[in-house]
Amino acid sequence: MGAVHLMLLLLILVLLSSSLAFLYKFWWGPRQFQRAMKLQGIRGPSYRLFHGTNKEAMEMKDQARKSTMDLSHDIFPKTLPHLHAWIQLYGSVFLNWFGTQPQIVVSDPDLIREILTNKDGAYPKTRTRYFLKKLLGDGLVVAEGDKWIRVRKLANHAFHGDCLKDMFTVMVASVESMLEKWQNRAAGEEIDVSGEFKSLTSEVISRTAFGSSYIEGRMIFDLLTKLGMIISRNTLTIRHFVKTKDEIEADRIKQLLHSAVMKIVEKRENEMKSGESTSFGSDFLGSLLKAHHDGDQSRSISAEDIVDECKTFYFTGQDTTSALLSWTTLLLAIDTNWQEKARQEVVGIFGRDKPTSDGVAKLKIVNMILYESLRLYGPVSSIQRRIERKVKLGKFEFPADMLINIPVQALHQNPDLWGKDAHLFRPERFTKGLAKATDGIPTAFLGFGFGPRMCVGMNFAINEAKIALSMILQRYKFTLSPNYVHAPDIVLTTQPSRGVQILLQTL
Ligand code: HEM
Q: pLDDT tens-digit profile of 246-278?
A: 888 889 999 998 988 888 888 888 888 888 887
Distance CA 195, CA 181 (A): 13
CA torsion angle for 454, 460, 461, 463 (degrees, to 10)? 130
Q: For residue 413, is pLDDT > 70?
A: yes
Ligand 1 pocket check for 207: Cβ under 6 Å: no
Facing residues of 392 across strands?
397
Candidate of 320, 376, 382, 455 to mutate for ligand 1, largest count of ligand atoms within 8 Å of Cβ: 455
- Does 369 sit in the ligand 1 pocket, CB within 6 Å? no
- Pinpoint the alpha helices (H) of 335-440: 336-350, 357-361, 364-377, 408-412, 415-418, 434-437
Ligand 1: residue of 320, 366, 459 to mutate (most ligand atoms within 8 A of CB) is 320
Determine if ligand 1 sits within 6 Å of the CB of residue 455. Answer: yes
Whether 111 contacts 393, CB under 8 Å:
yes
Could you identify the atom of ligand 1 that is nearest to the CA of residue 408? 10
- Which pLDDT score, from 0 to 100, does residue 1 have? 64
Mean model confidence pLDDT for the chain: 91
Radius of gyration of the chain (CA): 25
Question: Given ligand 1 and candidates 123, 309, 316, which is best to mutate, with the most ligand atoms within 8 Å of its CB?
Answer: 316
What percentage of the chain exceeds 70 in pLDDT?
98
Any ligand 1 atom below 6 A from CB of 320: yes
Strands 93-98 and 403-407 come out as unpaired
Domain boundaries, the chain: 41-506
> Which DSSP string do the residues of 185-231 spell out, in sequence order?
SPTT-EEEHHHHHHHHHHHHHHHHHHS--HHHHHHHHHHHHHHHHHH
Ligand 1 atom, smallest distance to 493 CA: 5
pLDDT in tens, 374-389: 999 999 999 999 999 9
- The answer to whether residues 96 and 86 touch, using CB atoms and an 8 Å cutoff, is yes
Helix, strand, or coil (residue 159)? coil
Atom of ligand 1 nearest to the CA of 450: 15
pLDDT surpassing 70 at residue 493: yes
Give the residue whose CA is nearest to atom 39 of ligand 1: 453
Least confident span in 110-119, 136-145, 447-456: 136-145
On the question of pLDDT at 426 being above 80, the answer is yes
Q: Which atom of ligand 1 is nearest the CA belonging to 379?
A: 5
Name the residue at shortest CA distance from atom 27 of ligand 1. 317
- 3 state DSSP class of 87: helix
d(CA 82, CA 63): 11
Least confident interval from 94-103, 132-141, 349-358: 132-141
Least confident of 1-10, 53-62, 331-340, 383-392: 1-10
The torsion defined by the Cα of 268, 273, 276 and 282, in degrees rounded to 10, comes to 50
Compute, in angstroms, the gap from residue 346 CA to the centroid of ligand 1: 27
Give residue 115's pLDDT.
98
**Inter-residue contact 136 to 265 (CB < 8 Å):** no
List the residue whose alpha carbon is closest to atom 12 of ligand 1.
449
Q: Which carries the bigger pLDDT value, residue 472 or residue 189?
A: 472
Query: Cβ(383) to ligand 1 under 6 A?
Result: yes
Q: Ligand 1: distance of its center to the CA of 433 in Å?
A: 21
Q: What is the DSSP string of 289-354?
A: HHHHT-S-TTT---HHHHHHHHHHHHHHHHHHHHHHHHHHHHHHHH-HHHHHHHHHHHHHHHTTSP
Atom of ligand 1 nearest to the CA of 152: 41
Atom of ligand 1 nearest to the CA of 324: 1
Please indicate whether residue 288, judged by its CB atom, sits closer than 6 Å to ligand 1.
Answer: no
Q: Which element (helix H / strand E) includes 255?
A: helix 245-273
* Cβ atoms 341, 365 nearer than 8 A: yes
For residue 459, is pLDDT > 70?
yes
Strand duo 403-407 + 382-386: pairing: antiparallel
Confidence band (pLDDT; 50, 70, 90) for 204? very high
Q: Which range has the worst mean pLDDT, 10-24, 78-92, 390-404, 420-434?
A: 10-24
Is the distance from the beta carbon of residue 316 to the nearest atom of ligand 1 less than 6 Å? yes
Assess whether the C-beta atom of 315 lies below 6 angstroms from ligand 1: no
Is the CB–ligand 1 distance for residue 328 below 6 Å?
no
The predicted structure's pLDDT at residue 210? 85
Nearest C-alpha to atom 3 of ligand 1 is from which residue? 320
How many Å separate Cα 241 from the centre of its chain? 29
- DSSP 3-state of 497: coil
DSSP-derived 3-state class of residue 160: coil
pLDDT for the residue numbered 240: 67
Element (H, E) at 393: strand 391-393
Predicted confidence at residue 2, as pLDDT, reads 78
The length of the chain in residues reads: 507
* CB distance 140 to ligand 1 below 6 Å: yes
Q: Say what the pLDDT of residue 214 is.
A: 66
Sequence-distant (≥ 6) Cβ neighbours of residue 450 within 8 angstroms: 112, 113, 116, 117, 442, 443
What's the Cα-to-Cα distance from 180 to each of 164, 174, 332, 474, 475, rounded to whole Å? 24, 10, 21, 13, 11
Query: What average pLDDT does this structure show over 328-351?
Result: 98
**For range 410-415, the mean pLDDT:** 96
pLDDT of res. 423: 96
Evaluate: CB of 159 within 6 angstroms of ligand 1: yes
Instruction: State the maximum Cα–Cα separation within the chain, in Å, rounded to a whole number.
Output: 99
Residue 260's contacts (CB-CB under 8 Å, 6 or more residues apart) are 219, 220, 223
Ligand 1 close to Cβ of residue 227 (< 6 A): no
- Exposed / middle / buried, residue 27 (Cβ in 10 Å: 0-12, 13-18, 19+): middle
62-76, 290-304, 398-412: lowest mean pLDDT where?
290-304
Q: How far is the C-alpha of 312 from the C-alpha of 331, rounded, in Å?
A: 29
> Which one, of 112, 131, 133, 132, lies nearest residue 123 by Cα?
112
Rounded mean pLDDT, 31-38: 93
171 ligand 1 Cβ < 6 A: no
Checking if the pLDDT of 453 tops 90, the result is: yes
What is the CATH architecture of 41-506?
A: Orthogonal Bundle (1.10)
Helices (H), 102-213: 109-117, 130-136, 145-158, 161-183, 193-210
- Position 130 scores a pLDDT of 77
Asked if residue 73 has pLDDT above 90, the reply is yes
Residue pair 376/407 in contact (Cβ under 8 Å)? The answer is no
* Closest by CA position to 290, among listed 267, 269, 274, 318: 269
Confidence of residue 359 (pLDDT cuts 50, 70, 90): very high
Higher pLDDT, 260 or 362: 362
CA of residue 316 to ligand 1 center, whole Å:
6
Which are the contacts of 298, defined by CB distance < 8 A and separation ≥ 6?
Answer: 146
Query: How many of the other CB atoms lie within 10 Å of CB of 157?
Result: 14
